[in-house]
């Protein structure tokens, strides 16, 4: 009797301990990388990993199907996996090319779906052309270091990039190494070839796994949409169009609001993704300020206007890709030219649309309801241009703030005028000093030279 009781207690203790082990040691946190490796994929992987840490997961599993992408973001994901606080698993289903190979090598375990491939990690541009040696050398170093860190063959990892590496058992001389699933297993690079996720858990001796998937939120979806090049181009059109209408019709407010909203939607996701930096946003803002100065302060179109266009162009283009200030080697080759093409194309299209539809938009009833549309009629004392009368040395009053342009009243008639001293407050007495090309230039009456007073009295 005592023997049976003791045996029951021991069995109960065994199952309790085993159950605790299963509960505490079989938590798998799963995420996906099924797009080009870039800012958005890095953000999702980082969020997934942070959530896995929070949930105290024992395994971090990335299901991968990518043809590669930007090396700098691939390196960020690589570093995360190398320094992970839990076991990491990459399940290649169905492609892990280029940057995807680098990420896979950084994991503790690689599993490949039947028919999957891994390799071909040479650095190429947007047209698929092999880039110069400096890019390949950097990638070879990353591959070697990653393989060594996880106990894999560094020479084999380097052969994914360099066709000159001799591996007679796996590839022809002069060819870049690419593995099928079965070849990767035979080469001890992948742990197993599988057809479904349950086979991975069985291979890792994970009994009754508690699998938790990262669920993409609506914020993730919106950010992913906003960083799409097509959407970025449309937002740039909104920025340029809003700035144009605001400069053409200062004070309307609505156009400026459109530009600000478009700029926020353009820069915010890029800033969150780690692409847009403070200096790039500041460069764009400085460009807008220079354009405003050119229009409202500096007559003609000169250096300020040209620099303003250049700064706006560069601020938008640089924000769309990773760079270390003006060093773009960390970005995927060809992206710099692509980003400039997107920005220039959006600007040109904006100008064309504004030329074609600009006046019609301003005259629509819907647009007029959104802006201040008070008419300055002649019977109310307004005039659109300076009449051919002698207004030199005439005295009047500033009816609006001149900063430096604004409205003045002389002999009961309102005119557009420019303050020669840069600023005149509303209500101050003024006199007309110059009259050029239908423009009146005025100063404060208190600043009038004594010689002019004597001349007037004479």
Q: pLDDT tens digit string along 324-345?
A: 566 655 555 556 777 788 888 8
Q: How confident is the model at residue 412 (pLDDT cuts 50, 70, 90)?
A: confident
Instruction: Report the 10 Å Cβ neighbour count for 167.
Output: 16
User: Lowest-confidence range among 61-70, 169-178, 386-395, 425-434?
Assistant: 386-395
Distance (Å, whole) CA 236 – CA 44: 25
Query: Residue 60's beta-bridge partner residues?
Result: 29, 88
Q: How confident is the model at residue 322 (pLDDT cuts 50, 70, 90)?
A: low
Q: Is this prediction's pTM over 0.75?
A: no
Contact 244, 309 (CB under 8 A): no
Tell me the sheet residues that pair with 37: 69
User: 24-213 and 394-447 share one CATH topology?
Assistant: no
Whole-number CA gyration radius for the chain? 34
106-132: average pLDDT: 83
**Inter-residue contact 18 to 49 (CB < 8 Å):** no
Sequence spans of domains, the chain: 24-213, 218-369, 394-447
pLDDT at 126: 64
Domain 24-213 in this protein, CATH class: alpha beta
Q: Which residues of 27-59 are buried (b: 16+ CB within 10 A; e: fewer)?
A: bbbbbbbeebbbbbbbbbbeebbebbeeeebbb
CATH fold label, 394-447: OB fold (Dihydrolipoamide Acetyltransferase, E2P) (2.40.50)
pLDDT tens-digit series, residues 233-284:
888 888 888 877 776 665 556 777 888 888 888 888 877 766 677 888 888 8
Q: Per-residue pLDDT for 227 more than 60?
A: yes
């Amino acid at each position: 009797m005592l023997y049976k009781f003791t045996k029951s207690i021991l069995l109960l203790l065994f199952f309790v301990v085993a159950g605790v082990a299963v509960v505490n040691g079989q938590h798998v946190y799963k995420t996906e990388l099924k797009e080009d490796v870039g800012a958005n994929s890095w953000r999702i992987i980082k969020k997934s990993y942070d959530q896995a840490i929070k949930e105290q997961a024992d395994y971090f599993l990335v299901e991968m199907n990518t043809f590669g992408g930007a090396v700098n973001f691939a390196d960020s994901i690589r570093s995360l996996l190398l320094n992970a606080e839990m076991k990491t698993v990459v399940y290649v289903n169905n492609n892990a090319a280029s940057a995807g190979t680098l990420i896979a090598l950084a994991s503790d375990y690689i599993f490949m779906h039947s028919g999957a491939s891994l390799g071909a990690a040479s650095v190429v541009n947007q047209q698929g052309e092999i880039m110069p040696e400096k890019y390949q050398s950097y990638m070879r170093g990353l591959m070697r270091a990653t393989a060594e860190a996880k106990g894999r063959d560094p020479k084999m990892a380097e052969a994914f990039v360099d066709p000159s590496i001799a591996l007679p058992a796996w590839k022809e001389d002069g060819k870049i190494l690419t593995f099928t699933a079965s070849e990767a297993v035979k080469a001890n690079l992948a742990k197993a070839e599988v057809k479904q996720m349950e086979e991975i858990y069985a291979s890792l001796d994970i009994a009754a796994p508690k699998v938790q998937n990262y669920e993409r939120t609506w914020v993730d979806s919106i950010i992913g949409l906003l960083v799409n090049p097509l959407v970025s181009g449309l937002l740039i059109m909104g920025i340029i169009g809003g700035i144009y209408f605001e400069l053409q019709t200062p004070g309307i407010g609505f156009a400026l609001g459109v530009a600000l909203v478009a700029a926020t939607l353009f820069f915010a996701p890029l800033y969150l993704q780690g692409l847009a930096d403070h200096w790039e946003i500041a460069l764009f803002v400085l460009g807008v300020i220079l354009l405003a100065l050119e229009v409202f302060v500096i007559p003609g179109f000169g250096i300020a206007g040209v620099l303003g266009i250049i700064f706006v162009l560069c601020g938008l283009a640089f924000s769309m890709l990773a760079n270390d200030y003006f060093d773009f080697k960390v970005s995927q080759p060809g992206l710099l030219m692509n980003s400039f093409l997107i920005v220039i194309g959006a600007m040109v299209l904006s100008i064309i649309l504004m030329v074609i539809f600009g006046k019609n938009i301003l005259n629509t009833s819907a647009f007029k309801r959104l802006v201040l549309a008070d008419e300055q009629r002649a019977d109310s004392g307004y005039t659109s241009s300076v009449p051919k009368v002698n207004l030199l040395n005439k005295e009047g009053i500033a009816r609006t703030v001149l900063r430096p342009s604004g409205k003045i009243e002389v002999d009961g008639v309102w005119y557009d005028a420019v303050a020669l001293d840069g600023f005149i407050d509303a209500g101050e007495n003024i006199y007309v000093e110059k009259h050029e090309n239908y423009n009146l230039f005025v100063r404060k009456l208190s600043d009038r030279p004594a010689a002019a007073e004597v001349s007037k009295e004479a």
